[in-house]
């Protein structure tokens, strides 16, 4: 019996989308085209271009920044950061922060300290005027919206979902509470292992694609239609189980509650109030519903602005844009015992709350996390925010956490001393 060796990938330099020539020239060479209709458009290394150009690969709904002047971010570049060293989890040899960027296929990373930019870098296909897919960092944006509505009394966290969305009464969501959806403690029959071609996530992906369905396709055709088909697996409220469909159910709840799409709501409540310098956008399904579970693309510094607002207790540009009690709900964390049942060996003692990952580390950091390494890390002790976009070949944060988590901690410890 032979074991399969772990898949290896070209490194960041060898997979650099500019070097590989994706979509360059008029026209690009036929084997250098990445198009909406490609089956493998998000496969590494095409992904390194695609994740910075989602709007060219799908219809999208805008997340307007509004029309005013962007806020100005101060700039005090800290040259010491590149040389910080740390030992990756499970590793034996220290690496430097600078080395960690390529190791994680970083496309862009900005560090704010006391609201000023102290570190900023772009690579791959991303520039400061570009937008990169945030993947599941989108979930945490939905969490901010939901926690806000709860504090404002517009959304009852204890209401069963069926009371809000009658169409979900017959699904697993029907007798889950809003809070259980928001904290992902629902018991749902749904597998999201990207490496498994038979996982439900691929059925979900086919259902929610805005492209024409294949001849004879009889499955669900939208986010909402799919959500109605989800069966229960176990009991709600017992264990954390990370499933994207919770966020799309939450998106439906948000839309039904407010009469706004999640893209409109994200613009109205956050993007237009943080002094964003760029519009964001969200990919949509075949009936125009934004992908609440992972569809946001945005500018890197605007993602950092969101992090700073969270760090500042919901205040941006001198204005309380998210209730402080909503931010407190996140920092208060979820239940580590329920979280432990999910078996994340790299995240001991963590919890999940309001669609955010709560580290419960010494700095009390909380994190928005997207597959392929998207991160928004808010460290209140270091008064630090890290926003990162990346295009890691491994579609699971276990692929980058051994480097990511000690790296973020190292720069947090460095800045805490400043």
Site residues for a second copy per CB under 8 A: 23, 26-28, 33-37, 55-62, 64, 66-70, 128-129, 131, 210-212, 222, 224, 252, 255-256, 261, 277-279, 281, 284, 286-289
Minimum Å gap between C-beta 35 and a second copy is 5
Name the E strands within 92-189: 95-96, 106-113, 116-122, 132-133
Which CB atom, from 68 or from 332, has the smaller least distance to a second copy?
68
Name the E strands within 244-370: 280-283, 296-298, 315-316, 319-320, 351-353, 356-358, 366-370
Minimum Å gap between C-beta 129 and a second copy is 5
Q: What is the DSSP letter of 371?
A: G
Which CB atom, from 47 or from 404, has the smaller least distance to a second copy?
47
What residues does 280 pair with on adjacent strands?
A: 63
Best CA proximity match to 369, nearest among 405, 329, 327: 405
Which H helix or E strand runs over 307? helix 300-311
Could you give the CA distance from residue 108 to residue 118 in angstroms, rounded to a whole number?
14
Which CB atom, from 251 or from 314, has the smaller least distance to a second copy?
251
Cis peptide before 45 (omega within 30 of 0): yes
Which CB atom, from 52 or from 329, has the smaller least distance to a second copy?
52
**Structure token digits, residue 60:** 């999208």
Best CA proximity match to 274, nearest among 327, 329, 324, 315: 315
Minimum Å gap between C-beta 159 and a second copy is 17
Which CB atom, from 69 or from 195, has the smaller least distance to a second copy?
69
Could you give the CA distance from residue 281 to residue 131 in angstroms, rounded to a whole number?
9
Which CB atom, from 118 or from 276, has the smaller least distance to a second copy?
276
Minimum Å gap between C-beta 270 and a second copy is 15
Could you give the CA distance from residue 233 to residue 305 in angstroms, rounded to a whole number?
38
CA 141 to mean position of chain CA atoms: 8
Minimum Å gap between C-beta 244 and a second copy is 18
What residues does 353 pair with on adjacent strands?
A: 356
**Structure token digits, residue 223:** 């986010």
Which CB atom, from 60 or from 100, has the smaller least distance to a second copy?
60
C-alpha distances in Å from residue 282, one per residue of 34, 55, 263, 321: 19, 8, 7, 21
Minimum Å gap between C-beta 110 and a second copy is 13
What residues does 119 pair with on adjacent strands?
A: 111
- 313: helix, coil or strand? coil
Minimum Å gap between C-beta 24 and a second copy is 9
Minimum Å gap between C-beta 222 and a second copy is 7
Best CA proximity match to 277, nearest among 4, 67, 54: 67
Minimum Å gap between C-beta 254 and a second copy is 9
Minimum Å gap between C-beta 106 and a second copy is 21
Residue 58's CB: how many other CB atoms inside 10 A? 21
Which CB atom, from 93 or from 129, has the smaller least distance to a second copy?
129
Which CB atom, from 28 or from 115, has the smaller least distance to a second copy?
28
Which CB atom, from 131 or from 400, has the smaller least distance to a second copy?
131
- Nearest 5°: phi and psi at 324? -60, -30
Q: What is the DSSP letter of 400?
A: T
Name the E strands within 68-210: 85-86, 95-96, 106-113, 116-122, 132-133
CA 144 to mean position of chain CA atoms: 13
Minimum Å gap between C-beta 205 and a second copy is 16
Which CB atom, from 212 or from 345, has the smaller least distance to a second copy?
212
Could you give the CA distance from residue 146 to residue 218 in angstroms, rounded to a whole number?
33
């Amino acid at each position: 019996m032979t074991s399969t060796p772990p898949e290896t990938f070209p490194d960041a330099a060898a997979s650099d989308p500019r070097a590989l020539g994706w979509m360059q020239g008029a026209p690009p060479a036929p084997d250098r085209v990445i198009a909406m209709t490609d089956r493998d458009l998000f496969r590494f290394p095409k992904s390194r271009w695609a994740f910075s150009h989602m709007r060219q690969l799908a219809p999208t709904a805008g997340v307007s920044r509004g029309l005013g002047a962007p806020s100005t971010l101060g700039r005090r570049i800290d040259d010491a950061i590149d040389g910080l060293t740390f030992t990756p989890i499970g590793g034996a040899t220290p690496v430097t922060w600078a080395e960690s960027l390529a190791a994680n296929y970083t496309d862009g990373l900005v560090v704010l300290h006391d609201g000023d930019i102290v570190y900023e870098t772009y690579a791959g296909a991303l520039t400061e005027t570009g937008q990169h897919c945030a993947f599941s960092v989108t979930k945490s944006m939905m969490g901010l919206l939901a926690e806000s509505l709860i504090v404002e009394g517009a959304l009852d966290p204890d209401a069963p979902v069926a009371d809000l969305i009658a169409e979900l009464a017959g699904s697993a969501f029907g007798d889950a509470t809003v809070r259980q959806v928001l904290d992902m403690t629902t018991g749902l029959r749904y597998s999201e292992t990207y490496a498994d071609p038979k996982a439900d996530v691929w059925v979900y992906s086919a259902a929610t694609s805005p492209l024409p369905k294949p001849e004879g396709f009889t499955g669900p055709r939208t986010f909402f239609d799919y959500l109605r088909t989800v069966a229960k697996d176990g009991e709600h409220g017992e264990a954390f189980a990370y499933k994207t469909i919770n966020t799309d159910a939450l998106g439906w709840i948000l839309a039904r509650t407010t009469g706004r799409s999640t893209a409109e709501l994200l613009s109205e409540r956050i993007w237009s109030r943080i002094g964003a310098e760029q519009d964001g956008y969200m990919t949509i399904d075949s009936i125009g519903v934004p992908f609440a579970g992972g569809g946001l693309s945005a500018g890197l510094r605007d993602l950092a602005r969101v992090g700073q607002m969270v760090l500042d207790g919901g205040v941006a540009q001198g204005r309380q844009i998210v209730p402080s009690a909503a931010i407190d709900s996140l920092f208060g964390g979820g239940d580590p015992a329920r979280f432990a049942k999910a078996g994340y060996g790299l995240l001991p003692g963590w919890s999940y709350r309001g669609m955010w990952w709560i580290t419960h580390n010494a700095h009390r950091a909380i994190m928005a996390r997207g597959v392929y390494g998207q991160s928004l890390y808010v460290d209140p002790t270091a008064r630090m925010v890290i926003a990162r976009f990346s295009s890691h070949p491994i579609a699971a944060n276990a692929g980058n956490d051994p480097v990511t988590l000690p790296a973020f901690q190292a720069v947090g410890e460095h800045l805490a001393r400043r």
